[in-house]
Amino acid sequence: MTIIVTGGAGFIGSNFIFHMLKTYPEYRIICLDALTYAGNLSTLKDVMDNPNFRFVKASITDREAVYGLFEEEHPDVVVNFAAESHVDRSIENPSVFLETNILGTQVMMDACRKYGIKRYHQVSTDEVYGDLPLDRPDLFFTEETPIHTSSPYSASKASADLLVQAYHRTFGLPVTVSRCSNNYGPYHFPEKLIPLMIANALNDKPLPVYGKGENVRDWLYVEDHCKAIDLIIHKGTVGEVYNIGGHNEMKNIDIVRLICKELGKPESLITYVADRKGHDMRYAIDPTKIHNELGWLPETKFADGIKKTIKWYLDNRQWWEEIISGEYQSYYEKMYGNRS
Ligand code: NAD
Ligand code: TYD
């Protein structure tokens, strides 16, 4: 089995590559990644010498490069993680989100049509469903929930999902789609809530909480997401969408307080800053379908996962310090410099 994993130098894609090489040592895994600001080759250093692994630097929007790779490797499966993934950046500059997330998806699927494929899997997000009100804890996103997006990021992911379903219906492409809730764990880029708060707290810097910190996210340990995708590509039904989430809803402010507590840092570091534009209030996944059909259940409890994650950031300071000492500084200044 040969699998192309796009976006494998990023957070979830790299964790997926580690999971697959460990679980299926006989599989050939090819990582296709453009190494944008979010991609980091050092993340993949432990697998670079594995004879069953190959890294290719190219954009999923580069049709010639993608077709060339398919001609060389004849993949059986494509798992498309490659995306611009940060909501705040999509508010600043939507264009690259449309190019990568929509047009890149089209190029990958065109290659799958041209050269043949057993499965094309699209890694999507619960953000395509928009948000839920805080005062209706009985409501959850199911696969039937209408697409209703808030940010340029979620709109681009939703557009890609629709295109994937169109390629299935019109061209018979054997696709599956997964929509997961917020992930956390090792190699999470420090622009996102949990790693940003860990890095800032360790550096005794202010912890910028948007609005009142009341927004709720449904957190899943990254390895559980990877195991769910592994199940879907092997046992999932072609043409189907699967929601992935572990019923672990938490308010942002509670996460930040917990990080302070775990690191022994004072809550006085917490600074409330101007809210995100169009900020989604609550995400909450109903994972009944993937549980009933594929037997998936999350294995890592949040209390354990967050401890493991914090320990990883403590043990791997070099990884994130290198990131935050580079172009990240101008990003941080732009996003947080005058934000009160
Ligand atoms: P990430 O930003 O950490 O990594 C994205 C990777 O894609 C990087 O390695 C980057 O270099 C690469 N990339 C970007 N543009 C590319 C292009 N044009 N061609 C090739 N590679 C390109 O993102 P992540 O958090 O790992 O998310 C991965 C996928 O999972 C995304 O599709 C995202 O929408 C989805 N998702 C993320 C979460 C989450 O909580 N992080 C939750 C649900 C779904
Ligand atoms: P994020 O990690 O960007 O994921 P998403 O927006 O895709 O859910 O943000 C998670 C939540 O944390 C979201 O409600 C926005 C909030 N947040 C802050 O309060 N401060 C921050 O500095 C960041 C990056 C996010």
Q: How is the chain split into domains, by residue range?
A: 2-184+221-247+285-300+328-336
Strand partners, 119: 77
Radius of gyration of the chain (CA): 19
Q: Which ligand sits nearest to residue 219's alpha carbon?
A: 1
Per-residue pLDDT of the chain (340 residues; tens, 9 = 90+): 999 999 999 999 999 999 999 999 999 999 999 999 999 999 999 999 999 999 999 999 999 999 999 999 999 999 999 999 999 999 999 999 999 999 999 999 999 999 999 999 999 999 999 999 999 999 999 999 999 999 999 999 999 999 999 999 999 999 999 999 999 999 999 999 999 999 999 999 999 999 999 999 999 999 999 999 999 999 999 999 999 999 999 999 999 999 999 999 999 999 999 999 999 999 999 999 999 999 999 999 999 999 999 999 999 999 999 999 989 999 999 999 988 8
Kindly name the residue from 127, 218, 223, 224 that is annotated as catalytic.
127
Kindly name the residue from 126, 161, 224, 280 that is annotated as catalytic.
126
- H helix intervals, the chain: 11-23, 63-73, 87-92, 95-97, 105-115, 152-171, 193-202, 222-235, 252-263, 288-294, 302-315, 317-324, 328-336
What's the pTM? Answer: 0.98
Q: Which ligand sits nearest to residue 10's alpha carbon?
A: 1
Strand partners, 124: 179
Which residue has tokens 């790693």?
A: 195
Question: How close is the Cα of 188 to the center of ligand 1, in Å?
Answer: 10
- Model confidence pLDDT, tens digit, residues 193-230: 999 999 999 999 999 999 999 999 999 999 999 999 99
Which residue has tokens 């594929």?
A: 294
pLDDT value, residue 78? 99
What six digits make up the tokens of 280? 């989604």
Q: How far apart are CA 186 and CA 188, in angstroms?
A: 6
Q: Annotate 98-114 with b (16+ C-beta within 10 A) or e (fewer).
A: bebbbbbbbbbbbbbee
Q: Which ligand sits nearest to residue 273's alpha carbon?
A: 2
pLDDT value, residue 98? 98
Q: How far apart are CA 262 and CA 201, in angstroms?
A: 10
pLDDT value, residue 340? 81
- 13 close to ligand 1 (CB < 6 Angstrom): yes
- 150 close to ligand 2 (CB < 6 Angstrom): no
Q: Is 3.40.50.450 the CATH classification of the domain at 2-184+221-247+285-300+328-336?
A: no
Question: How close is the Cα of 209 to the center of ligand 2, in Å?
Answer: 8
Q: Backbone phi, then psi, for 53, in 5-degree steps? A: -120, 140
Atom of ligand 2 at shortest distance to CA of 217?
Answer: 8
Atom of ligand 1 at shortest distance to CA of 37?
Answer: 11
Question: How close is the Cα of 193 to the center of ligand 2, in Å?
Answer: 5
Query: What region does 85 belong to: left with phi over 0, alpha with psi -120 to 50, or beta?
Result: alpha
Q: Which residue's C-alpha comes closest to atom 5 of ligand 2?
A: 87
Residue 163: C-alpha distances to residues 47, 86, 102 (Å)? 33, 21, 8
Q: Which residue's C-alpha comes closest to atom 14 of ligand 2?
A: 215
- 112 close to ligand 2 (CB < 6 Angstrom): no
Question: How close is the Cα of 138 to the center of ligand 1, in Å?
Answer: 30
Q: Which residue's C-alpha comes closest to atom 3 of ligand 2?
A: 192
- Give the strand pairing for 175-180 and 216-218: unpaired
Question: How close is the Cα of 256 to the center of ligand 2, in Å?
Answer: 11
Which residue has tokens 């209706």?
A: 136
Active site residue 33: no
- 60 close to ligand 1 (CB < 6 Angstrom): yes
- 208 close to ligand 2 (CB < 6 Angstrom): yes
Q: What would the DSSP string read from start to end of 113-167?
A: HHH--SEEEEEEEGGGG--B-TT-TT--B-TTSPP---SHHHHHHHHHHHHHHHH
Q: How far apart are the two ends of the chain, measured CA to CA in Å? A: 52
**Three-class DSSP category at 39:** coil
Active site residue 126: yes
pLDDT value, residue 319? 97
Q: How far apart are CA 246 and CA 283, in angstroms?
A: 12
- Give the strand pairing for 249-251 and 216-218: antiparallel
Q: How far apart are CA 117 and CA 78, in angstroms?
A: 8
Question: How close is the Cα of 202 to the center of ligand 1, in Å?
Answer: 25
Q: Which ligand sits nearest to residue 211's alpha carbon?
A: 2
- 218 close to ligand 1 (CB < 6 Angstrom): no
